[in-house]
Amino acid sequence: MIRYVVKRVILIIPILLGVSFLVFAILSFTPGDPASTILGNGATEEAIKQLNHELGYDLPFLQRYVIYITDIVTKFDFGFSYRTRLPIANELVSRLPISLKLASLSIILACLIGIPVGIMTAVKQYTMFDTVPTITALIFAAFPTFWLGMLLLYAFSLKLGIFPSYGASTWVHFVLPVIGLGLPEAATMMRFTRSSMLETVRQDYIRTARSKGAPERSVIWKHALKNALIPIVTIIGVDFAALMGDACATEVLYSLPGLCTMIINGIRQKDVPSVMGATLLLTAFCSLVVLLVDIVYAFIDPRIKAKYSGSRG
Amino acid sequence: MKKRKCFLLAVVLLLMLAFVFAPVANAAENDTLNFRLMFNCSTVSPYLHFNDADWWWQAGVFEPLVWLNDANGTFEPMIAKEWSVSDDGLVYTFKLRDDVYFHNGEKLKASDCVFSYNLAKQAPTLTTFTSPYDKAEAVDDTTFKVHLKEPYYPFLHHSSMIKIVSEKAVSEQGADFGTKVALAGTGPYYMTEYNPAVKVAVKAFDKYYLGKAPIENVNYIVMVDDSSAVIAFERGEIDIIQVPSTYWADISKSDKYGSKITPRHELYYLIVNMNSPEQNKILANKDIRQAIGYCVDKQAIVDVVKEGLAIPYDQFMDPAITAGGPESTIKYEYNLDKARESLKKAGYPDGVNVGTLMSFSPSEYVKMAQIIQASCAEVGIKFEIEQMEVAAGLTEMRAGKTSMSFCASTFLLDYDYIGRYFHTRNDATHFVKYKGSDLIDWKTIDNKFDDGTRAKDPAQRKKIYSEAERIIMDSGTYFPIMMTSFGMAWQKDLSVDTSKWGAFFMFSPYDWAWKK
Amino acid sequence: MEENLMEENLDVDFRKQSNAKEIWRRFKKNRSAMIGLVLFVFMFAACFIAPLFVPYTSVTRQDTKNKFAPPSVAHIAGTDNFGRDEMARILYGGRMTMSIGFIAAAISLLVGGSLGMMASFYDKADNLIMRFIDILASIPPILMALAIVSAMGTNLRNVVIAISISRMPAFCRVVRAAVMGIVDQEYIEAARAGGTGDFRILTKHVLPNCLGTIIVQTTMNMSLLMLAAASLSFIGMGVQPPAPEWGSMLSEAREYMRSAPSLMILPGLGIVLVTTQLNLIGDGLRDAFDPRLKT
């Protein structure tokens, strides 16, 4: 088992290296340089050259990349933002909690709504308790998060004035963004729970349990749910990771200072270290979450367990 | 087995919950004014690269020697009480106030000015303003002299852009200056918090030489998104705001808020690159360029893009308040018949494809582009609109690869300032390369801008510059579109002295107070 | 002799699995899928037949004195901030949004699918391709697309390429898994042993058998791709104006949320409807192709 975990953790390293190289290359081959953006319209050529030199942007691409990676590996130094000249690491530390809060609150909301309703629809299949939520979920799953966000903003901030429209200082600020991001996710979660439950119910061991005369309630709650939850756990993890990145439009809409806005601003302003830092952190985080899920899964799934805990220890 | 799974599930959920710690925001203080910034801040230093956001909050923190009052184009004292220029135009002498303190408690001395001017000289951002002077000198504690390389009469305009900082405070911070709270200014407010993506907080300075500011705390809050910022303003979370143009009509009409339009010396141009390689260099044809100029429906652009927060503009600078600013003799008003005529003269009566118009995304430029595209299409001039990110777009423009593009520029009120776009010493970064071209009399333009800075007499300067402007306007390379305005709005419980408002002094919170 | 027998078996198998008539029959029985299909055909037709009735000029023709006009006979859905006809923009915008979804799905399928197939077919390529796909997949898709668009320039072609690349890993993995399942089967090994070329095996035996998975996956991803394109446009890195696109129309509408809130209704509704319909069709197809999975 430990062997499996170690192997998976080690596999993350080349992925991060690959991602960093890919993004660094994309950013570097974009026309434009940080100094001419920073200095604006009337800048002289000498000023642009001087600033690019100060920022270290006049070095060749590969050299900059190697310096960047070496600094991270040896000193855990993510460099300085071209624009604010503040250490990227500090900015990451202040922005990560916001992205995390947004994603985790949304996924919790999604679970709280999606899983119970999903179970209900599966248990009461073909009744009103099935069709109404299913159709609702079908529509909500199709909502672009930014559109839902706009509608919420319009109704609850602009018209009713209940919730603030920007900022991230208190929990109140997260209500609208979390609903906007969480509802479509809840719909997806509900659909998934429903089909997972229905699939489990059709399995042989459930039929066996039923035929043995176990009461229906115990069949559903004890046998079916237990097994249906396994794939759901996987989905929670994967979607949590995905939400961190998909929160782009939501962060823009509510002016949340999260990692996605850092990347968008960085791309616009050619602030390579900002984009790199935020992308690497997001990627690393997503990979870790997926890894965690896989490990949990491996614990549960006897086949994987057997493969790694057999003769090879 | 079941227990273990439940346990695992619980662990996963708990881990997630653990991330959801929500620190409660600091309790709201009573005497605090909230101001919205449209962008993330980029620096504390008034010398490093700065953007609009820095400009706003630095207005109350750092001060220059003299202040350019852009309502009438005159200078008013700030840190310097009085000033004089030597007869040969080479030495500027500033007499400083003796009651100015920096936020760290140090008294301001002429040596701090020397330090500041030297620091500014090293900053790539300020080269336009610092290039005229050679060295700065402290004669005694209250006398400060600046030596120029050659006579340069717009110098006071430039010095109004150079803020004074404390030598001690800046030296103590060393390389960190610009990245964290610094008590280095002399303004009515000192910094207490600097968080570039969230907010900058400042507090009234007790020892300010004109007396302590009426409002104790000011928070400059970063809110990038316009609609959420306006909502915040309406909910009272923001006390004073530069209203995004799309909301101006609504907000200014409401009697719940005070509001005022202030002209901002920011001019939007359409640039038509005569050297563009696209479409077989079709834009080398001056008549086609002029035809495009006649297709710019300035009023429609003002209405749609700025919703009235701008005025259509026909010249580079307002001659009424600009030192040396001439009246334009050539103007391009919106006139499709003239455009057709011009096109006919060019030899393309049936229309012509001129390539692409590049606009930065996402911005007002994109809307302007669509309006110009629609009216050009009516006379048969066709082009595509291309969107780029600012960094890439500027680079393309500077490389002279774009056919048409936009540019906006805020001007110091001296005509020499627009020389940046036309004098060929800056050729490398020009959007339209004049140097060496036989399509335009660039040598005369250069000469006129050179002469203009050396001439002392305002009337003579106007005459010199009018010739430069005539050549540029005739070339059909830069078409002025509109001059924008700030539309400011504030809550009714705030009393705002708007008399000092302008593009350069920029709304210092010193002039605001709560109504009792 | 043995090979003949094999082929025969295969044919039987093939017929059973992908008999179009049979699938269509099952699909028809699925009421919600049929509703989705009918609505989709209707919207598709509205957006793609529109050019016959509404000239493109009415999408770009401006009337700045008449902006934000309420619905009238001349402008069924009113006008936008330039005084352009909103209905014409919705129709043409739908065409744009849907086309992006279709084309991007096709590219994504073609590239991602071939990579997946190669990976599953050639062990040596497998590791290389899948590690590359792992890297691509670990960058959140929308951010990946953002970076690509900003690097290559904002225009229609680049937006399509960017979202195709960002969605590629999903296609690659699904196709690989599907093909793996088939390649492992005995009849393929037998065909190989019998000297049938790789290409023939792929086209004759493998492709038809994983066609169902591919079709379902493509339908499902089409809606995701449309959402991605709309998100990009919303952030301001999408289709260039004046061409309308639902996402960019929403982005413009957001600025005018106060003065003209109605502008944000139609484009958003359009996206939701088309996405829902595609999801319904996708669900229906999945059930039709593989009735065992029917939920």
Determine the 3-state secondary structure of B408 from DSSP: strand
**How many interchain CB pairs under 8 A, A with C?**
121
Determine the 3-state secondary structure of B138 from DSSP: strand
Q: Which of B197-206, B502-511, C132-141, C167-176 has the lowest mean pLDDT?
A: B502-511
Q: Give me the pLDDT at residue B27, please.
A: 39
Do A68 and A94 share a domain, yes or no? no
With contacts defined as CB-CB under 8 Å, which chain C residues touch B309? none
- Integer Cα distance of B184 and B61 in angstroms: 9
Q: Give me the pLDDT at residue A311, please.
A: 41
- pLDDT tens-digit series, residues C174-194: 888 888 878 777 777 788 788
Query: Tokens 């881990």 belong to which residue?
Result: B15
- Band the pLDDT of B210: cuts 50, 70, 90: very high
Residue B305 confidence (pLDDT) above 80: yes
Whether C234 sits inside 8 A of A199 (CB atoms) is no
Which one, of B513, B444, B361, B484, lies nearest residue B52 by Cα? B484
Q: Give me the pLDDT at residue B328, please.
A: 83
Determine how many CB atoms are found less than 10 A away from the CB of residue A160: 9
Phi and psi of A237, rounded to 5°?
A: -60, -50
With contacts defined as CB-CB under 8 Å, which chain C residues touch B369? 241
Residue B184 confidence (pLDDT) above 80: yes
Whether B361 sits inside 8 A of C259 (CB atoms) is no
With contacts defined as CB-CB under 8 Å, which chain A residues touch B232? 164-167
Query: B204 vs C31, which has greater pLDDT?
Result: B204
- Band the pLDDT of C12: cuts 50, 70, 90: very low
Structure-block tokens of residue C56: 């493109």
- Integer Cα distance of C58 and C8 in angstroms: 59
- pLDDT tens-digit series, residues B76-121: 899 999 999 999 889 999 999 999 999 999 999 999 999 999 999 9
Do residues A4 and A309 touch, judged by C-beta distance below 8 A?
no
Quick check: C258 contacting B, CB < 8 Å? yes
Query: B50 vs C12, which has greater pLDDT?
Result: B50
Determine the 3-state secondary structure of A156 from DSSP: helix
Structure-block tokens of residue A185: 């996710």
* H or E element at residue B407: strand B404-410
Quick check: A155 contacting C, CB < 8 Å? no
Do A228 and A147 share a domain, yes or no? yes
Residue B489 confidence (pLDDT) above 80: yes
Range C91-119 average pLDDT = 92
Q: What is the average pLDDT score of chain B?
A: 87
Whether C142 sits inside 8 A of A248 (CB atoms) is yes
Do A71 and A205 share a domain, yes or no? no
CATH class name, domain C81-294: mainly alpha
Q: Give me the pLDDT at residue A290, please.
A: 81
Whether A31 sits inside 8 A of B396 (CB atoms) is yes
Pick from A9, A42, A77: which residue ends a domain?
A: A77
Q: Give me the pLDDT at residue B219, please.
A: 94
Do A53 and A130 share a domain, yes or no? no
Mutate to test the interface with C, among A61, A146, A285, A291 (most CBs of C within 10 A): A146
Residues 237-296 of A with CB under 8 A from B: 237, 240, 252-255, 257, 261-262, 265, 267-270, 292, 296
Do A47 and A168 share a domain, yes or no? no
**Burial of residue B140, with CB atoms counted within 10 A of its CB: 0-12 exposed, 13-18 middle, 19 or more buried:** exposed
Do residues C160 and C103 touch, judged by C-beta distance below 8 A?
yes
CA distances, A266 to each of A36, A47, B381, C31, C97 (Å): 14, 21, 36, 48, 27
- Integer Cα distance of B29 and B436 in angstroms: 62
Mutate to test the interface with A, among C39, C100, C138, C231 (most CBs of A within 10 A): C138
Do residues C73 and C99 touch, judged by C-beta distance below 8 A?
no
Do A192 and A287 share a domain, yes or no? yes
CA distances, C173 to each of B64, C108, C219 (Å): 62, 12, 16
Do A72 and A94 share a domain, yes or no? no
- Band the pLDDT of C3: cuts 50, 70, 90: very low
Residue B448 confidence (pLDDT) above 50: yes
Do A148 and A68 share a domain, yes or no? no
With contacts defined as CB-CB under 8 Å, which chain A residues touch C139? 19, 22-23, 245, 279, 282-283
Do residues B436 and B415 touch, judged by C-beta distance below 8 A?
no
Quick check: B254 contacting C, CB < 8 Å? no
Mutate to test the interface with A, among B17, B228, B256 (most CBs of A within 10 A): B228
- Integer Cα distance of B318 and B316 in angstroms: 7
Q: Give me the pLDDT at residue B13, please.
A: 59
The total number of structural domains that make up chain A: 2
Do residues B312 and B481 touch, judged by C-beta distance below 8 A?
yes
Structural fold of domain B263-485: Dipeptide-binding Protein; domain 3 (3.10.105)
- Integer Cα distance of B307 and C68 in angstroms: 13
In a domain, A4, yes or no: no
**Burial of residue B384, with CB atoms counted within 10 A of its CB: 0-12 exposed, 13-18 middle, 19 or more buried:** middle
Do residues C139 and A279 touch, judged by C-beta distance below 8 A?
yes
Q: Where in chain B is the domain with CATH 3.10.105.10?
A: 263-485
Q: Give me the pLDDT at residue A306, please.
A: 64
Quick check: C271 contacting A, CB < 8 Å? yes
Residue B1 confidence (pLDDT) above 50: no
Do A176 and A48 share a domain, yes or no? no
Pick from A50, A108, A174: CB nearest B124: A50
Q: Give me the pLDDT at residue A162, please.
A: 80
With contacts defined as CB-CB under 8 Å, which chain B residues touch A296? 8, 12
Quick check: A248 contacting C, CB < 8 Å? yes
Q: What is the average pLDDT score of chain C?
A: 83
Q: Give me the pLDDT at residue C15, please.
A: 46
Cis peptide before B362 (omega within 30 of 0): yes
Residue of chain B minimizing CA distance to C234: B362
Residue C75 confidence (pLDDT) above 90: no
Positions in chain A whose pLDDT score sits under 50: 310-313
With contacts defined as CB-CB under 8 Å, which chain A residues touch B229? 165-166, 255
Q: In chain C, what percentage of residues exceed pLDDT 90? A: 23
Q: Which structural domain, as residue segments, surrounds residue A96?
A: 88-310
Residues 101-160 of C with CB under 8 A from B: 150, 153-155
Q: Across the strands, what pairs with B203? A: B190, B217
Residue C14 confidence (pLDDT) above 80: no
Q: Give me the pLDDT at residue B123, please.
A: 84
Nearest chain B Cα distance for residue C231, angstroms: 14
Determine how many CB atoms are found less than 10 A away from the CB of residue C91: 25
Residues 63-122 of A with CB under 8 A from C: none
Determine how many CB atoms are found less than 10 A away from the CB of residue B111: 15
Do residues A260 and A248 touch, judged by C-beta distance below 8 A?
yes
- Integer Cα distance of B32 and B263 in angstroms: 28
Query: Rg for chain A (alpha carbons), in Å?
Result: 24
Range B144-161 average pLDDT = 90
Query: C212 vs B50, which has greater pLDDT?
Result: C212
Answer yes or no: CATH 3.40.50.300 is held by domain B27-61+187-256+492-516: no
- Band the pLDDT of B506: cuts 50, 70, 90: low
Segment of B11-25, B97-111, B117-131, C133-147 carrying the highest mean pLDDT: B97-111
Whether C138 sits inside 8 A of A15 (CB atoms) is yes
Which one, of A65, A289, B68, lies nearest residue C138 by Cα? A289
Whether A147 sits inside 8 A of C227 (CB atoms) is no
Q: B476 in the Ramachandran plot: left (φ > 0), alpha (ψ -120 to 50) or beta? A: left
Domain boundaries along the sequence of chain C: 81-294
Residue of chain C minimizing CA distance to A148: C268
Nearest chain A Cα distance for residue C9, angstroms: 29
Structure-block tokens of residue B379: 């006379």
Do A53 and A105 share a domain, yes or no? no
DSSP letter assigned to residue B274: T
Range C74-78 average pLDDT = 83
Whether C276 sits inside 8 A of A142 (CB atoms) is yes
Whether A32 sits inside 8 A of B25 (CB atoms) is no
Q: Which of A285-294, B237-246, B291-300, C11-20 has the lowest mean pLDDT?
A: C11-20
- pLDDT tens-digit series, residues C201-235: 878 878 887 888 888 889 888 988 998 898 888 88
The beta-strand segments (E) located in B97-223 are 133-140, 143-148, 163-164, 189-195, 199-204, 217-222
In a domain, A137, yes or no: yes
* H or E element at residue A273: helix A272-300
Quick check: A236 contacting B, CB < 8 Å? yes
Q: Give me the pLDDT at residue B28, please.
A: 46
**CATH for A294:** 1.10.3720.10
In a domain, A107, yes or no: yes
Do A109 and A239 share a domain, yes or no? yes
Q: Give me the pLDDT at residue B404, please.
A: 95
- Band the pLDDT of C295: cuts 50, 70, 90: very low
Q: Give me the pLDDT at residue C142, please.
A: 86
Do A134 and A278 share a domain, yes or no? yes
Residues 1-30 of A with CB under 8 A from B: 30
Pick from A45, A240, A257: CB nearest B197: A257
Whether A236 sits inside 8 A of B225 (CB atoms) is no
Q: Where in chain B is the domain with CATH 3.40.190.10?
A: 27-61+187-256+492-516
- Band the pLDDT of B342: cuts 50, 70, 90: very high
Residue of chain B minimizing CA distance to C251: B362
Complex ipTM tops 0.85: no
Which one, of C129, C224, C209, lies nearest residue C169 by Cα? C129
Structural fold of domain B63-170: Dipeptide-binding Protein; domain 1 (3.90.76)
In a domain, A6, yes or no: no
Mutate to test the interface with A, among B395, B402, B423, B432 (most CBs of A within 10 A): B395
Nearest chain C Cα distance for residue A246, angstroms: 7
Quick check: A147 contacting C, CB < 8 Å? yes
Nearest chain A Cα distance for residue C234, angstroms: 7
Query: Tokens 């990451």 belong to which residue?
Result: A92
- Band the pLDDT of C1: cuts 50, 70, 90: very low
Pick from A23, A58, A77: which residue ends a domain?
A: A77
Query: A244 vs B203, which has greater pLDDT?
Result: B203
Q: In chain B, what percentage of residues exceed pLDDT 90? A: 48
Quick check: B370 contacting C, CB < 8 Å? yes
Residue C17 confidence (pLDDT) above 60: no
* H or E element at residue B397: helix B390-398
Contacts of B356 (CB under 8 A, 6+ apart): B278, B383, B384, B385, B386, B402, B403, B404
Pick from A105, A252, A269: CB nearest B225: A252
Quick check: C134 contacting A, CB < 8 Å? yes
- Band the pLDDT of C257: cuts 50, 70, 90: confident
Chains that touch B (3 or more CB pairs under 8 A): A, C
Long-range contacts of C45-51 (CB under 8 A, 24+ apart): C46/C91, C46/C94, C47/C91, C47/C92, C47/C94, C47/C95, C47/C98, C48/C95, C48/C98, C50/C88, C50/C91, C50/C92, C50/C95, C51/C92, C51/C95
Whether A242 sits inside 8 A of C140 (CB atoms) is yes
- pLDDT tens-digit series, residues B409-423: 888 888 888 888 899
- Integer Cα distance of B453 and B418 in angstroms: 12
